[in-house]
Each structure stands twice: as C-alpha cells, then as structure tokens.
Amino acid sequence: MINLILGGARSGKSRLAEQLAERSGLAVTYIATSEPLDGEMNARVQLHRERRPAQWGLIEEPLALAQTLRVHASADRCLLVDCLTLWLTNLLMLDDPERLSAERTALLECLAALPGEIILVSNETGLGVVPMGELTRRYVDEAGWLHQAIAERCQRVVLTVAGLPLTLKGNAP
C-alpha cells in the first residue's frame, strides 16, 4: 500500500504519517531526506527524532530515494519517507537538471513494485500566491507535478489541515 500525506507547514502531516506507520503493525523504518544545515532545521529534525519510537529504524538519504526504497522495502516493513519536498529541494540545489529528472523518474517507476507499506510525506506548497523568484517558482511547479504523478500511483492520498485529515483518494486513515 502506498500512501501520500500532504499538508502545509505544521499541518499535522508528519504526525499522521507516524500514526499510520505505528498502526501498520509492521517494523518501521523512517527515511529522512533532510539535510539540517542550520540551527533552525536542526531543531526541527530534533523534534521529529524525539517523537519517533526508539525501535524504529532510521535511514538518512537526501538524494537517492528510489534506490533506498528498493533496497529496504519488504512485505513485513513500513517505510515512512519524510519528506518529498525536502528531497526535491536537495535535488534542485544541485543545479543538475539531469540528476533531478533521473531521480524523479526512478522514484515514480519503482513505487508500484515496492512490497510492504510505504508512507510518503510532502509539503503542499501550491495553495498560496505565485512566488516571485525563478527558483522558488520552479520548486512549486516541480512539487506540484511530483505530487500529481505520485498521487496517481497511490492507493491513499490524504491532505492534512490543522491536524485534521481529509481523504482525497482511498480509504480514510
């Protein structure tokens, strides 16, 4: 089962994803895509670490997400990826459009073949005003296209707002 959990900053998307992972009854591996490069991001990462159960595995992978999913997915495991937009940002910051395209394609192609439970968390950034800068507009566009392509491949898509889940596709969590 592939789940996509979308929401804005502090919407409750990560908490919902963690609850779904816990309820899966499977061994859980958390795949963190963040590269905490400053104090504020370090604090965010620390909050996530403190909230996670100690028995969960952790893989930190900022770029090669599809490869990581293929290696670690199994019928008796739940993989929780938090988050796709940080992964996308990491790829955009490489300033290598070929790498971004290759990683995106690899992710989209591997999803259907992954065993077990997969939970993908991502920031919904396309609900506000059009950003002013070229890179920021590209980020919002790329995130929107990625979300559409992943949502097509998921059995469940949930939007979180104010900690409340709104099921867009599939059964309610």
48 labelled catalytic: yes
Residue 166 identity: L
Rounded to 10 degrees, what is the CA torsion of 162, 44, 41, 14?
-50
Residue 133 in 3-state DSSP? coil
Characterize 108-145 residue by residue with b for buried, 16 or more Cβ atoms within 10 angstroms of its Cβ, and e for exposed. eebbeebebbbbbbbbbbeeeeeeeeeeeeebbebbee
What span, in angstroms and rounded, lies between the C-alpha atoms of 24 and 120?
Answer: 14
- C-alpha distances (whole Å) from 124 to each of 67, 108, 167 are 24, 18, 14
User: Exactly one of 48, 72, 99, 153 is catalytic; which is it?
Assistant: 48
Asked if 14 and 163 touch (Cβ cutoff 8 Å), the reply is: no
Contact 133, 148 (CB under 8 A): no
Which residues does the annotation mark as catalytic?
A: 48
